A and B are shown apart, each in its own frame.
Chain A
Amino acid sequence: MSSTVSSVRRPDVKVSPKARKGSLQPRVAPWMFVAPALALFMAFLLIPILYAVYLSFTRLKVTTGGAFGARTQVFVGFDNYVLSLSDPELLASLRRLATFGIISVPLTLGLALAFALLLDLPQIRYGRFSRTAIFLPYAVPGVIATLLWGFLYLPSTSPFNYVSRALGLGDINFLGLPGLYGSLANIAVWGGLGFNMIVMYTALRSIPGEIYEAATIDGANEWQVAWRIKIPLMTPALVLTFLFSLIATLQAYGEPQTLKSLTSTISFTFFPLMKVYRDAFGNDDVAGAAATSVVLAIGTLVISLLLLRVLQRRAFGEEK
């Protein structure tokens, strides 16, 4: 259960009359502890995002100099937002993202849950090995993972194709449509499965044993125990992993960008963040990219807040 400290020795604190006067008042103290984090947050999260918002109302435009005039920064109001929201590519990329997400999120979490439950069974052999092996992909950065899977997908270098050709089934088209969504989702599942499984597994292990005694006495089998007892008690972990998976999906970028160099099926604007990257770095349109990012960030925030609201009590329980 909780790792409470069962016995604590009172630390040997010198009682000096000075200590009371110069020491931090408990009222100011929390702010001092939080100060470094707050300062860093403002410097590296808040100010940059505010600057990005500011940028999104500007654009680099040629004002003088004719055909080769240099571009200067100009204020354009909501122009970038209008362009962004009316860009059919953005909508298309969101649809593609949704298709990808519908496959990858349930699969990742479903498999993680299944494996966590299986690991919890007493009759498991080689549990330690399986658990470690499944967690291993967490150590592999997304770009590398995509490179590795890319080789496993390409017709000429893929061992799967080798086998399917040998069986007379021809090539498996991993990188064309519609298989591409599955292939992309696979990379996400492969990478996210282990971490989510471990989170769920630790939640499972902390369920106190007495709860099961009643069920076993009643003659419940493993499936019923899992469904009726384990899963409901794991709800905080489930909600948390779901939320993080959702946010990660909305920000999917590295994998399709890397895979893009291997197949022509992935366009420059395949997923929303790819469009942002392309605008910022390919088209030298940082302002436009900023506008699109703000739109996406707001969307993510709204979805996350809604979810949290709905599931708040279950996620954070009696913590408050």
Chain B
Amino acid sequence: MSTTLVSRRPVSRRPARTGAAPSSRSRGKLGPTIVLLIGAFYCLIPIVWVITASSKSRSELFSTFSFIPGSGFLDNLQSLSSYSGGIYWQWALNSLIYAGGGALVSTLVSAGAGYGLAKYRFRGRNFVFTVILAGVMLPQITLAIPQYLLMSKLGLANSYWAVLLPTLINPFGIYLARIYAQASVPDETVEAARIDGASEFRIFRQVALPILVPGLVTVFMLQFIGIWNNFLLPFIMLSDDTKFPLTTGLYLLLNQGTGQPALYSLAIMGALLSIIPLVALMLFLQRYWKLDLISGSLKG
């Protein structure tokens, strides 16, 4: 079973590249490569910028050319680290808690729901599925204040739970889990286990879950990145800056208030550091992504 980012084509489409390359082929060779490299270059521009900008001291930031590195990288790092008693690292830890914890539990929730929606035929199945999917269309801003009031009623406002709980419901994750369960967990196997006398939950746990793991990794990753990058929810829920995640914390650095200058150098260094974990995560776990789910190309 393939675990690469993109599944292999079962039959190779063209004859393997032979040694003799006709001249027309070699002209066509470079064009697409160059276009792609231009695209790659375009996508990397701001990232290169943030790397060089974070190396500039406060005075260099606005006076030197963008892509020339400056002399202040370590200074900026130290300023950021010591800002408000090292709160940046607390923000980083919080992001990890919110994203890691939230994505983990929400993946389990999605797995259960996806499995239930995929492997059983019951009345109201499509209705439930459609309603859950419609949740994707609700703008976060509209939900923000009512969610905040709800949390307050439960006495949970300004707590870690306030940011964790709303992220546990992930309609898109349920959608993906459903497709994956439908495509990869064979009905015959489930039936066989049933005949053997296993309970439904046991079937889920011992038969389905192991099969679902590769797809669930994708669901986990998507939700992890989504929560890590989420700004509005923690912004509304939290008033204690020691509980902020990185997004809200960086926003605070940039919006101290009228007449207070934004702490651009700190924010830029902070932005750079906050991107690194995600980039690393994406690069290292590339082979576990199963994005065929999303493209709807899995056929049951």
Contact = CB atoms under 8 A, between A and B. Distances in A.
B117 A149 contact: no
Most B CB atoms within 10 A — which of A32, A114, A136?
A136
A41 B117 contact: no
**Which secondary structure dominates where chain A touches chain B?**
helix
Given A13-B193, A34-B113, A216 B39 contact: no
Nearest to A50: B146
Contacts of B143: 44-45, 48-49, 52
Interface string B97-129: 000000000000110110111011010010010
B275 A290 contact: no
Interface residues of B, number: 128
Most A CB atoms within 10 A — which of B165, B268, B297?
B297
A3 B142 CA distance: 39
B149 interface: yes
Interface in A228-286: 234, 236-237, 240, 247, 251, 253-254, 261, 273, 276-277, 280, 286
Given A11-B206, A130-B40, A144-B250, A209 B9 contact: yes
Interface stretch (A15-23, A68-76, A77-85): A15-23
A200 B295 contact: yes
Contacts of A19: 197-199
B86 interface: no
A30 B116 contact: yes
Interface in A27-42: 27, 29-34, 36-38, 40-41
Contacts of B282: 135-136, 138-139
B146 A48 contact: yes
Contacts of B165: 40, 43-44
Contacts of B140: 251
Interface of B: 1-2, 5-14, 17, 25, 28-29, 32-33, 35-37, 39-47, 49-50, 53, 61-62, 65-67, 109-110, 112-113, 115-117, 119-120, 122, 125, 128, 131-132, 134-143, 145-147, 149-150, 165-166, 168-169, 171, 174, 179, 182-184, 186, 189, 192-194, 196-202, 204, 206-207, 211, 214, 225, 228-232, 247, 250-251, 254-255, 262, 267-268, 271, 274-275, 278-279, 281-283, 286, 289-292, 294-300
